[in-house]
Amino acid sequence: MQLTGAQIVIECLKEQGVDTVFGYPGGAILNLYDELYKNQDSIKHYLTSHEQGAAHAADGYARATGKTGVVFATSGPGATNLVTGIATAYMDSIPLVAITCNVGVGLLGKDSFQEIDITGITLPITKHNYIVKDVKDLASAIRKAFAIARKGRPGPVLVDIPKDVTAEKTEFTASENKMVSEPGTVCDSQIATAIKMIHKAKRPMIFVGGGAVLANAGAEVQAFVDKVQAPVCDTLMGKGAFNGADPLYTGMLGMHGTKTANYGVSECDLLVVIGARFSDRVTGNAKKFAKNAKILQIDVDEVEINKNVLVTGQVIGDVKAVLQRLNEKLEPANHDEWIAHIMEYKEKYPLTYNEEVLTGPFIIEEIYRQTEGEAVITTEVGQNQMWAAQFYKYKEPRTFLTSGGLGTMGYGLGASLGAKLGRPDKIVINIAGDGCFRMNMNELATAGRYNIPIIQVVINNHVLGMVRQWQTLFYDKRYSATVLEDNVNFAKLAEALGVKGVTITSKEEFKTAFAEALTLGKPVLLDCQIDADEKVWPMVAPGAAIDEAFDEGDLNAQK
């Protein structure tokens, strides 16, 4: 049958099972939006306040559901406004398809109104991208975009379509071959080497990253830990791949990881790394990382092997498939003495905070208590993000959504909207600092417009908290451009945007307000006023080894 390019895009989205799209219209993409209007019964479009918010919403939808997120934007500034969101997805390996429309083919390269080379701009931050200049190639490009976004290590793909291509007609043949990602083969010799390394270990430690979440390998990780009988730590992106309430869980590893996790990795004789890429925030001084251990790395992407840290052995393949193979062959082990040693660290070095006043850690713990660990938590970046990672126990994958690789301030609110729309059965809470919240707080209007019942918690210290923490510790308290001295009232702002807003100054007020927010069934903002000098502990100084982690008590002891 003969279809226009715009109709082909919509039909291809339906083929891929897409029922939710985020975006913002404009002149170049009007033909697609006209077809969306005609197909609103099968594809729901959510108009955000800004294209960056749309990109983050599509990303949050993908992370929460495991599906591929889809975002639309028009040419020029519409397309460039997606860039930060696309880069965020790229750094964290999130499957995303961005569809932009450009000026007509005859106007390309002529500095036309709202023309931009968006494929050139996004080349370094996408797995692949296309500009489709012939309508005959459009269906193939859309289908390939979804295949590439999901295959192997996931990531974003961009398809740019000139406006005249969306109007032109061609013959379209429907396809029922919805993209399914195959796990691929796993090398037998690599499995054999891994088995030997694990069986020889006396002090094994298991380190879980975001790859385990992306592979939906939570059950396999649990079975592997049961077989190996070893303490477990994770990355920021690996939260929930292993139950944070399990006795063998030692906490997050790295710059703001627990002393238990950092000491365990520094003392183990085998570190089994599952879907993690050895970020600098995890390793600290890479030359001193896991200095007593052989390292076994399991990863779908061969490029990650020996990139940041040299490893002893590797298994390349889908994490879920690899762990299934290992679990079939591994003999149950006993490392009681080693585990007891690590549990002594866990008892000796718990995460603590000032319990007398309202603090970030208290807020996170109270959210955990009232939600019984069943919520989806999104975050912004900085102190709020670290507290959310430290003090909420994530029981399952896809319940902690945060910008890990790029560290995108302004990510969380848009992501929370996508997560709630993708998982309406879940309580969804965005944890923000006041600095991050300012960046995309306009998306509260989106929450209000569609009555998306997310809870926005602002941990408001009236400073750029994490930057100020560094200035306090390493810059002799020269607080350059980090004090937010103004009279912005977030609760009133929320009300103006159609969202209930509450200002909170005490622990009791937070308990009451959050309990009410859980019952309202509509978006709520809680503006929680805390001290400007609350800090995230422990911390590893830049360039130091992770076993040199220090906290406030250590600093006081040095005085």
What is the rounded radius of gyration, in angstroms, for the C-alpha atoms of the chain?
24
Residue 157 parent element (H or E): strand 156-162
Give the position of tokens 């729309």. 421
Q: How many CB atoms neighbour CB 259 within 10 A?
A: 24
| Joined tokens for residue 225 | 């830990």
Neighbouring residues of 394: CB distance < 8 A, sequence distance ≥ 6: 239, 240, 243, 244, 373, 377, 400
Rounded distance between C-alpha atoms, residue 165 and residue 134, angstroms? 6
* SS3 assignment for 315-360: EECCHHHHHHHHHHHCCCCCCHHHHHHHHHHHHHCCCCCCCCCCCH
Cβ-count burial of 551 within 10 angstroms (0-12 exposed, 13-18 middle, 19+ buried)? middle
Active site members: 51, 113-114, 163, 466
Question: Is the torsion defined by CA of 352, 355, 357, 360 positive or negative?
Answer: positive
* SS3 assignment for 95-126: CEEEEEEECCHHHCCCCCCCCCCHHHHHHHHC
Partnered with residue 4 across adjacent β-strands are: 169
Rounded distance between C-alpha atoms, residue 405 and residue 384, angstroms? 16
Q: How many CB atoms neighbour CB 337 within 10 A?
A: 9
